[in-house]
Structure 1
Amino acid sequence: MDWRRVATTVAHRALPRRSDYAGLRTGWRTDALAGLTVAVVALPLALGFGVSSGVGAAAGLVTAVVAGFVAAMFGGSHLQVSGPTGAMTVVLVPIVARFGAESVAVVAIMAGGLVVLAGLLGLGRLVAYIPWPVVEGFTLGIGVVIGLQQVPLALDTPKAEGENAALVALRTLGDVDWSAALPAVGLVVLVVGLMVLLPRVNRTLPASLLAVAGATVVAELARLDVARIGAIPATLPAPGIPDLTPEATSALFSAALAVAALAALESLLSAQVADGMADDVPRTHPDRELVGQGLANLAAGVFGGVPATGAIARTAVNVRAGGRTRVAAMSHAVVLAGVVYLGTSFVARIPLSALAGVLLVTAARMVNIRTARTISRSGRSGALVFLLTFGATVVFDLVVAVELGVAVAAVLALRAMARASGLHREPLPDVEVDTVSERALLAEHIAVYRIDGALFFADVRRFLDELAQVADVRVVVLRLGSIRVLDTSGANALAEIVADLQRRGIVVLLKGLRPEHRQVVEVVGVLAELQHHKHLFDDLDAAVEHARSHVRRAQTSA
């Protein structure tokens, strides 16, 4: 093994470089202002997602600071802003319910290690193979689940038992004391109203922050009896390694795997969106982005935070605010750290129902009716994948939803490919013959077949059954030039055709084998099945002429 080359690859995918900060000398003011803008948007979301996940507001804020800074420094995107997200909250809620809040730091560290490993192994480019209906289906499902998770907070009512967000919301609605819940509901309505109206007055206003501040002021002046965030540490917690014993890690491995899959998927999708929004910034390096996100999760776990991913909404705010280097995302983390040290007294008085209002609006904005309508009208296959992914997200979890969506999409794509592929008989090309009877004889004894697209075993069986009914065929010319996909299974199917025909006494000639298919055909043994190595042709006329000589010899011997 070339260890020097391995070390170079690891360094390329894992280490910061000077080029990360190209243009910073002239654009640092814009980046710093963009970071401040993102921090204003991120503060209520970090607090809300921390509370909603069941770990607490402090953990959400710590994650936004620590993971946000580490991911910006080591990640592969110049624009990505990372932190706690709604999608991750959806995964964390059942983990907290099953293993307790103390398990989240362990899960973050384990998931971080898995994501770093994925980046070093070069798996970042696999996200390009996730179909659009799958992405949109789980995005819609995330929005619905986030909205359902806010029901207990919005009603200031203890959360009912259970892991599924829909069932918990229904049980909570059945147990609510509506007279006691009215103040909290009023604050939710106030927050939602401000977040909807303020952007119409001025799009530059930090609507979510102003809405939370307004609700907090109203709750204080009216002395409303509603649940608050409560005291949070005035400093970042000291780093520490949680319980990583074999017993703890084995019990949490499946949870860590789910978190790692989501962290990788959402981060790469978010970076992809950011790349499409800014043409003057280098594209994301997907493998390095995975390494950065993995390190961010390791750091978040060490500091007692929750798992983090790239955040699409905050990243979009960063791009629109003019951020062009990773300094913008770092600045956002520094500003939030300042809130930890200077603003804890105000943060402690924020009503939980106000954060629920922010997350309800966030969830509603994830529901894109136009996109859902477009996918539904695009065809039954896309609509089926979209609906299955959406349903699995709500009923099960995100990882199951993505796995199911990709699997169904793959099966449907395979079916479409099979429909576009197949074996087709063609008329015999014009050849010079001495008599009309000779032309009829050649047409009777020589069959030319063209294989299109990809070769499937179902086509093999149909083809052999068809030839079994044509008793007088003595030579079959298989045209292979139109085959676009020929893997091991397809080559084995081709070998079966050749072997079966020649057992019946039918000579097989192959025409137009592509150079890129030569190796798999030789390895599987297709060429070895031919009667003679000269039965492989590049020209159809030459193949037909050779077939003609076989027919003549057969007639002579008869």
Structure 2
Amino acid sequence: MTAPQVSSPTPARGRRRAGGALRATARHLVDLLPSAADYAGARRTWRRDLVAGVTVGIVALPLALGFGVSSGLSPAAGLITAIVAGLIAAVFGGSHVQVSGPTGAMVVVLVPIVATHGAGAVALVSVMAGVLVLLAGILRLGRAVSFIPWPVIEGFTLGIAAIIFLQQIPSLTGADDTAELSSNALVAAVQSLLGADPRYLLWAIGAVAVVVACMVLAPRIHPALPGSLLGVVCVTVLTALVPTPLEVIGALPSTLPAPTIPPFSPDLLLDLAPAAATVAALAAIESLLSARVAASLADTGPYNPDRELLGQGLASVGSGLFGGMPATGAIARTAVNVRSGGRTRIAAVTHAVVLLLIVLALARPVGLIPLAGLAGVLMVTAWNMVHRATVRSILRSTRGDAITFVITALVTVSFDLIVAVGIGIVIAGIAAIRSLSRTAMVHRQEVSPPREAGDDRIAIIAFAGPLMFASADRVFEEVTRVEGVEVVILRLSTLEHLDATGAHILSDIVQALERRGITVLIKGVQPVHDSLLREVGVLAALRHTNHLFDDLDAAIAHARSHVARSERTAG
């Protein structure tokens, strides 16, 4: 009788696997959306959240104005970004306390974009970059920032701080045509100083001095005093009472503009794609770093990195539709929020509402703020970005980390931020591999007592640490240097890591010794390395299949039999 045919379970298993993947994707997408759990603690903390939101809004005002000016756009663009992006990121982002808006790092990237493509292209770049960041969140790339080493992050931060500081120099000199200045912040600073009006420069330095004094002294009087706002108010009042040549912000819109899709064409999209990719990478990196820092400042709950990317992507898209600039999480403003008592998203939402009310009610007085005053705020902000103790710690750590830190900072100032991060990661990786390769060791062991005649012609070579491409040539030279022996036992039981190059070198070692008439035995192949050694041909290079051992005593006994046979043949 013919046995009944049983259908293969493979299609059903495939359908179940596909269904499981779809359910996991659906759960991931649901986790990216706002929920009532975002405001679980609001009943207890809403008063503190409101106070923190007002505080952050006051702190953010001069920064938003200053970053709008420094980016080559307008103060209004900075305010729009802080309001629109700040509100969207607060609702959709992955952190309960993150405050988003225009930041110094983004300004550094936008300046060359404005110089190359014009201010009108920034809104489109913001939308394009926002879409890329949003997709990164959907594709679960939020943990990628964990691969950036600490020295790279700190070098990147130092470079950004230096650029922000240098970008304020043209504002102090009253440079009439910034378009004629170099796109490099250091060169542009020198150019503006060489062509500066001494009288204007003295007034500007005086305004900066007033702002700096307020920002330094106000926190010492009381931590809650907003030193940057007080400094800007003092300078604005002084310039209103005393005639000065200082340039002011000028007229600001008293309402938000209507959202519109930035004009685009296929050619323009293609032309702006590299700039959008750079902005997206920076927005993702800075936002995730800020969210991670915020989570360490206080017990504010965990943050979802993928949702943070989704929220920041939507924030930049929204900002671009309103004519603003790309936004990121702002570490300084987020820290102010946490330290002021903010614990839920209500604080970041309040910060955006406060800025909106300022636009609606105080647009005219805000327009009287001198640009030199805003430059002073950003100069102090740049100075505070650099933690001197952290710099000293890195420079006093390993040589590789110190080199990575310095090069990342220099490349950031000299060339490009994203290039700097890439170069920093490569250098850090090379330094790590070089350091790891030094831990690869081979040393010769003597045959343990009781010794027998001929044991001096047996060499036990023990491998320790990783055997990888960086250390392979050195290991080959050390092992094949052995002289005066007839049998070599390669002891691999303490080998921690093995890559394809390391396995290939083991094969070369076996073949090189066998060509010299030295019998090679291998002892202690770990299961995790077995398949690689077989695929690369290490075991096939042995003279005989019984030259592979699990026990050292058995390998020594076999080696002694070889030596004894050699003595009988010679006799």
Displacement of 1:238? 1.9
User: Aligned pair in 2 of structure 1 residues 111, 551: CA closer, same or farther (>3 Å)?
Assistant: farther
User: Aligned partners of 1:516 and 1:9: how far apart in 2?
Assistant: 35
Q: Which moved more, 1:330-339 or 1:36-45?
A: 330-339
| 2:551 pairs with one of 539, 544, 548 | 539
Alignment of 1:125 onto 2:151: no
Q: Which moved more, 1:105-114 or 1:83-92?
A: 105-114
Displacement of 1:240? 2.0
| 2:465 pairs with one of 437, 447, 453 | 453
> What is the aligned partner in structure 2 of residue 412 from structure 1?
431
1:451 is paired with a residue whose SS is strand
2:189 is paired with a residue whose SS is helix
1:122 is paired with a residue whose SS is coil
> What is the aligned partner in structure 2 of residue 230 from structure 1?
250
Q: Is the 8 A contact 2:174 2:247 kept in 1?
A: yes
Superposed, 1:201-240 pairs within 5 Å as 201-240=221-260
Q: Is the 8 A contact 1:53 1:90 kept in 2?
A: yes
User: Aligned partners of 2:292 and 2:542: how far apart in 1?
Assistant: 49
Q: Which moved more, 1:226-235 or 1:527-536?
A: 527-536
User: Aligned pair in 2 of structure 1 residues 299, 542: CA closer, same or farther (>3 Å)?
Assistant: farther
Superposed, 1:331-350 pairs within 5 Å as 331-350=350-369
> What is the aligned partner in structure 1 of residue 340 from structure 2?
321
Q: Deviations over 1:231-290 (max 9, x none)?
A: 222222222222343311222222222212211221122122212211x23222222222
User: Aligned partners of 2:507 and 2:39: how far apart in 1?
Assistant: 56
Q: Which moved more, 1:157-166 or 1:236-245?
A: 236-245
User: Aligned partners of 1:544 and 1:212: how far apart in 2?
Assistant: 82
> What is the aligned partner in structure 1 of residue 321 from structure 2?
302
- The total of aligned residue pairs comes to 550
Q: Which moved more, 1:83-92 or 1:289-298?
A: 289-298
Displacement of 1:57? 0.9
1:364 is paired with a residue whose SS is helix
Q: Deviations over 1:189-228 (max 9, x none)?
A: 2212211121121111111112112221222222434322
Superposed, 1:123-272 pairs within 5 Å as 123-158=141-176, 159=178, 160-272=180-292
> What is the aligned partner in structure 2 of residue 8 from structure 1?
26
Displacement of 1:90? 1.1
User: Aligned partners of 1:546 and 1:244: how far apart in 2?
Assistant: 78
Q: Is the 8 A contact 1:477 1:511 kept in 2?
A: yes
> What is the aligned partner in structure 1 of residue 15 from structure 2?
none
> What is the aligned partner in structure 1 of residue 3 from structure 2?
none
Q: Is the 8 A contact 1:460 1:497 kept in 2?
A: no
Q: Is the 8 A contact 1:13 1:119 kept in 2?
A: no
Alignment of 1:443 onto 2:462: no
User: Aligned pair in 2 of structure 1 residues 105, 413: CA closer, same or farther (>3 Å)?
Assistant: same
1:11 is paired with a residue whose SS is helix
1:203 is paired with a residue whose SS is coil
2:438 is paired with a residue whose SS is helix
Q: Is the 8 A contact 2:81 2:325 kept in 1?
A: yes
> What is the aligned partner in structure 2 of residue 388 from structure 1?
407
User: Aligned pair in 2 of structure 1 residues 338, 531: CA closer, same or farther (>3 Å)?
Assistant: farther
User: Aligned partners of 2:505 and 2:317: how far apart in 1?
Assistant: 48
Q: Which moved more, 1:472-481 or 1:401-410?
A: 472-481
Q: Deviations over 1:6-62 (max 9, x none)?
A: 523541563223332221222122112211111111111011101110111111111
Q: Is the 8 A contact 2:480 2:509 kept in 1?
A: no
Q: Is the 8 A contact 2:441 2:475 kept in 1?
A: no
Q: Deviations over 1:63-107 (max 9, x none)?
A: 111211222222222221111111111111111111111111222
Displacement of 1:458? 6.3
User: Aligned partners of 1:132 and 1:119: how far apart in 2?
Assistant: 23
Displacement of 1:168? 0.5
Q: Is the 8 A contact 2:473 2:505 kept in 1?
A: no
> What is the aligned partner in structure 2 of residue 107 from structure 1?
125
1:41 is paired with a residue whose SS is helix
User: Aligned partners of 1:299 and 1:529: how far apart in 2?
Assistant: 64
Displacement of 1:503? 5.2
| 1:425 pairs with one of 414, 433, 444 | 444
Q: Is the 8 A contact 1:13 1:120 kept in 2?
A: no
Q: Is the 8 A contact 1:191 1:211 kept in 2?
A: yes
> What is the one-letter code of the residue matched to 1:545?
A
User: Aligned partners of 2:547 and 2:247: how far apart in 1?
Assistant: 83
Displacement of 1:530? 4.4
Q: Deviations over 1:405-444 (max 9, x none)?
A: 22212112211112221322222233x56xx4x2xx1330
User: Aligned pair in 2 of structure 1 residues 116, 13: CA closer, same or farther (>3 Å)?
Assistant: farther
Displacement of 1:304? 1.5
Displacement of 1:170? 0.5
> What is the one-letter code of the residue matched to 2:230?
L
- Superposition RMSD on alpha carbons, in Å? 2.5
User: Aligned partners of 2:537 and 2:39: how far apart in 1?
Assistant: 54
Displacement of 1:313? 0.5
User: Aligned partners of 2:203 and 2:477: how far apart in 1?
Assistant: 76
Q: Which moved more, 1:194-203 or 1:456-465?
A: 456-465
User: Aligned partners of 1:302 and 1:11: how far apart in 2?
Assistant: 24
Q: Is the 8 A contact 2:85 2:318 kept in 1?
A: yes
TM-score, normalised relative to structure 1 = 0.91
User: Aligned pair in 2 of structure 1 residues 359, 420: CA closer, same or farther (>3 Å)?
Assistant: same
Superposed, 1:367-516 pairs within 5 Å as 367-430=386-449, 436=452, 438=453, 441-444=454-457, 446-457=458-469, 459-466=471-478, 468-470=480-482, 473-502=485-514, 506-516=518-528
Q: Is the 8 A contact 1:65 1:333 kept in 2?
A: yes
Displacement of 1:183? 3.2
Q: Is the 8 A contact 1:50 1:56 kept in 2?
A: yes
Alignment of 1:62 onto 2:80: yes
User: Aligned partners of 1:119 and 1:535: how far apart in 2?
Assistant: 53
> What is the one-letter code of the residue matched to 2:137?
G
User: Aligned pair in 2 of structure 1 residues 348, 478: CA closer, same or farther (>3 Å)?
Assistant: same
Q: Deviations over 1:322-352 (max 9, x none)?
A: 1112222122112222222222122222221
Q: Which moved more, 1:233-242 or 1:515-524?
A: 515-524
> What is the one-letter code of the residue matched to 1:35?
G
User: Aligned partners of 1:82 and 1:297: how far apart in 2?
Assistant: 10
User: Aligned partners of 2:527 and 2:443: how far apart in 1?
Assistant: 22
User: Aligned partners of 2:117 and 2:234: how far apart in 1?
Assistant: 36
User: Aligned pair in 2 of structure 1 residues 368, 496: CA closer, same or farther (>3 Å)?
Assistant: same
- Percent identical among aligned pairs is 53
Q: Which moved more, 1:456-465 or 1:191-200?
A: 456-465
Q: Is the 8 A contact 1:13 1:287 kept in 2?
A: no
Q: Is the 8 A contact 2:468 2:500 kept in 1?
A: no
Q: Is the 8 A contact 2:476 2:505 kept in 1?
A: no
> What is the aligned partner in structure 1 of residue 67 from structure 2?
49
